[in-house]
Amino acid sequence: MVCGGRSPRRNRLAASKADTFMATLPADLVHAIDAHLPQTQCARCGYPACLPYAKAIALDGAAINRCPPGGSEVILALATLLDRPVVPLDPACGPTMPLRIARIIEAHCIGCTLCIQACPVDAIIGAPKKMHVVIAELCSGCDLCLPPCPVDCIVMESAPAATWTAERATHARERHANYAARKIATQRMRATSTGEPPVATTPSTPPLSMEARRANLARAVDRARTKRIQRPPRR
């Protein structure tokens, strides 16, 4: 028996409980932070999506003022949750704006699928070489579909006030999780089929930049239009 304190067994149990608490606390904190983020998955914070930003705040002490879609409301919520001072939105991340919804101009779409691949919430549907469509009810207004489009056929339009509800944010979180899992699975399948990561297989040929990809697609569009013009009329 040990006098004047806990027994070694009780000390071990207490230490084990403390270790378990400390191990689960970061995960709980990440989820609590993520619950306050708008789930637009726009990457304007400098992280690839809302959850990585939440992890950076919880585990790395990242600033809480890097979410333009959330604006001052999210900053206040995170400051309260984390007991940090309220600070203005970081201007380097861009301004807070009302929600906008993407729309594809049908006449200009060439069906390249690049916007589908870029959409982090699976709000765009279509098939290769067929016209694509944005499902407005699913669009988070992230703007990530704009840069890849080689023909600039996507426009952002104002959405009705209070369109981005908590329910839509929850659905966007789920769709992005599916998108991210599918992307990882595709990368793993590609690596398995080639025997090593795609980048490592061709070290002397760096991947094309987005500008080069758009230029190649633009030339392909021009060739297709020229062929249509030169094609003799059907009889």
Among 131, 144, 149, 150, which Cα is nearest to 172's?
A: 144
CATH among 1.10.3720.10, 1.10.760.10, 1.10.1040.10, 1.10.15.40 for 15-93: 1.10.15.40
CATH among 1.10.940.10, 1.10.730.10, 3.30.70.20, 3.50.50.60 for 100-194: 3.30.70.20
Q: What does each of the 235 residues of the chain score in pLDDT, given as a tens digit?
A: 333 344 555 545 544 544 443 344 578 899 999 999 999 999 999 999 999 999 999 999 999 999 999 999 999 999 999 999 999 999 999 999 999 999 999 999 999 999 999 999 999 999 999 999 999 999 999 999 999 999 999 999 999 877 899 999 999 999 999 999 998 998 888 888 777 665 443 333 344 455 655 565 556 556 555 655 555 555 5
pTM above 0.75, yes or no: no
The ranges assigned to domains in the chain are 15-93, 100-194
For residue 41, the model assigns a pLDDT of 97
Q: Which ranges constitute the DSSP H helices of the chain? A: 8-36, 50-60, 71-82, 114-118, 166-194, 198-201, 210-230
Q: What are phi and psi of 153, to 5 degrees?
A: -100, 10
